[in-house]
Structure 1
Amino acid sequence: MQAGQPFLDVEVQEHVAVVRLNRPERRNALSEPGVPGEFEALVDRLNQDMEVRVAILTGAGTAFSSGGNVKTMLARNGPGSGPVAAVPGRYASGIQRVTRALFRLNVPVIAAINGAATGAGLDLACMCDMRIAARSARLAESFIRLGIVPGDGGAWVLPRLIGDARAREMAFTGDAIDADTALAWGLVSQVVDDAGLMPAAMALAARVARNAPYQLRFTKQLFRDCRDMDLDRALEMSGLYQAMSHWTEDHAEGVAAALDKRMPVFKGH
């Protein structure tokens, strides 16, 4: 890997942004200093680019992401270095910036999990909207095995996906689960052969990308906003997003296409 080469490799094709974590020789560890800034820049770019309707996040090489760099932890050069009182700030200015960036991403994103997704790597996949796993995938909330805790928000996101009991089992044991278990637990929605991972992710992305771009973003924002609201507030937000949708040309196109019994052609108007 050449010095200065970006951690995130981004390619946009047919309304789909394919984002690859690009440090295969380090199993796509997330602990390099420039990683949070790259994720923030990526989110800003995708939020502003209305040509992008969906994103796919995957790892280069044989792993999705190993999370933190264990060698860096051993050398006391990571976010846990220095005085105890400084550690929360190091996390806030480091890996937690990735969490916050992905939370404000308005474009639906698919995690295509190739190989290991451990620790912060698993949590990164959990921050995506949809997850597809290769049959070789192994997923672990493995912080406890290193004598640390999920410092990136894993304790917030994982129980929301698989329920409290199973999330605690994964966090308290640190044990890895295979792709079929992840499917049974609802952590992923598909398991495919390794060679079919990206074709399956692209096929799902195409099904998403054919829909109205503004309404895709509105729907994602609505799911995000309603996560912690009571019903009355959620209904209020639903009405606001619906009001914005009804007066778009894409809504008129969708209705016309339904009446004509054809596929709609959405243009983002």
Structure 2
Amino acid sequence: MEAPVLVEITDDIALVTLNRPESRNPLDPETQDALIATFMKLDAEAKARVAILTGAGSAFCAGGNVRRMGEAASGSTERTPAQARGYYRHGIQRLPRMFEQLEIPVIAAVNGPAMGAGCDLTCMCDLRIAGQSARFAESFVKLGIIPGDGGAWLLPRVVGFAKAAEMSLTGDALSADQALVTNGS
């Protein structure tokens, strides 16, 4: 299997690519670990002045790997609240904490759907640029789960409270044009 994240540095610009196009670049634990290691290394080595985050293939990021989340949750009824907090804190919540600490600016180049945690990943970046094929959805409600990656905190800061509430409560997707109109409203 190829690396879940690829990095290429050219002229002080780091291109970081989510590299699981066959499954639409999900944010599984391996990809989370690779993203954190990649960005921490870029930040520490200071070989690039900016990073661009994109997805291989036709999707930016499909969000969490729902199949693996279901497997992990199969024993969740036996999990205590403290164990559930630890599961998120030591899992997906490492990403927004890492992005917050970065010195290097990160631009999300959204080349296709950014769903659930993928949408939240774009919100963790400093800037977002979307192609016409981009779609953004806070789709957690359609799965009956919460945005455990910090999306409920991140999204209103990018699109405003009213649009964030609409996206979170309906799970409906925004096109690139719709996202442009709502950016910061």
Q: Under a length normalisation based on structure 2, what TM-score does the superposition of the two structures give? A: 0.92
Identify the residue that residue 77 of structure 1 maps to in structure 2: 71
Partner Cα separation in structure 2 for residue 12 and residue 61 of structure 1: 20
1:34 Cα deviation from its structure 2 partner: 2.2
SS of 2:47 mapped into structure 1: coil
Question: Percent identical across equivalent pairs?
Answer: 51
Q: 1:172 aligns with which of 158, 161, 169?
A: 169
Residue aligning to 1:157: 154
Cα deviation code 1:39-87 (max 9, x no counterpart): 22112211122231000000001100010112223xx323674333222
CA deviation after TM superposition for structure 1 residue 176, in Å: 0.3
Question: Once the 2 structures are TM-superposed, how far is the Cα of residue 135 of structure 1 from its aligned partner?
Answer: 0.3
Matched residues in 2 for 1:88 and 1:81: separation? 15
Name the Cα RMSD after superposition.
1.5
| Equivalence map 1:156-235=2 (5 Å) | 156-186=153-183
In structure 1, how many angstroms separate the alpha carbons of the residues matched to 2:58 and 2:79? 35
For the residues of structure 2 that align with 1:81 and 1:26, how far apart are their CA atoms? 25
Structure 1 residues 157 and 72: alpha-carbon distance in aligned structure 2, compared to 1, 3 A threshold: same
Give the equivalent residue in structure 2 for 1:131. 128
- The equivalent position to 1:64 in structure 2, one of 52, 60, 71, is 60
| Secondary structure at the counterpart of residue 141 of structure 2 | helix
Secondary structure, in 3 states, of the residue corresponding to 1:72?
A: helix
Q: Structure 1: give runs of 5+ residues left out of the alignment.
A: 188-269
- Matched with 1:13 is 10
CA contact (8 A) 1:139 1:178 kept: yes
Q: How many residues align?
A: 181
Q: What is the aligned partner in structure 2 of residue 50 from structure 1?
A: 46
Letter aligned with residue 106 of structure 2: V
Unaligned runs of 5+ residues in structure 2 are none
Q: What pairs with 1:92-107 in structure 2 (closer than 5 Å)?
A: 92-107=89-104
Distance 1:79 1:139 in 2: 25
Q: CA deviation at 1:92?
A: 1.3
Whether the 8 Å CA contact 1:137–1:179 is kept in 2: the answer is yes
Larger relative CO (CA 8 A, sep 6+): 1 or 2?
Answer: 2
User: Quick check: 1:119 aligned with 2:113?
Assistant: no
In structure 2, the CA distance between the partners of 1:135 and 1:80, relative to structure 1 (3 Å rule), is farther
Structure showing greater radius of gyration is: 1
- The answer to whether the 8 A contact 1:27-1:66 is kept is yes
Counterpart Cα distance in 2 of 1:80 and 1:10: 34
Distance 2:72 2:110 in 1: 25
Distance 2:84 2:75 in 1: 7
Aligned to 1:253: none
For residues 84-95 of structure 1, the aligned pairs below 5 Å read: 84-85=79-80, 86-95=83-92
Q: Is the 8 A contact 1:79 1:87 kept in 2?
A: no
Alpha-carbon distance between aligned partners in 2 of 1:133 and 1:81, rounded to the nearest angstrom? 38
Distance 1:78 1:24 in 2: 23
TM-score (normalised: structure 1): 0.64
The residue type equivalent to 2:177 in the other structure is D
Task: Specify the code of the residue in structure 2 equivalent to 1:60.
Answer: A
Q: In the TM superposition, what is the alpha-carbon distance from 1:37 to its structure 2 partner? A: 2.3
Match of 1:27 among 24, 29, 33: 24
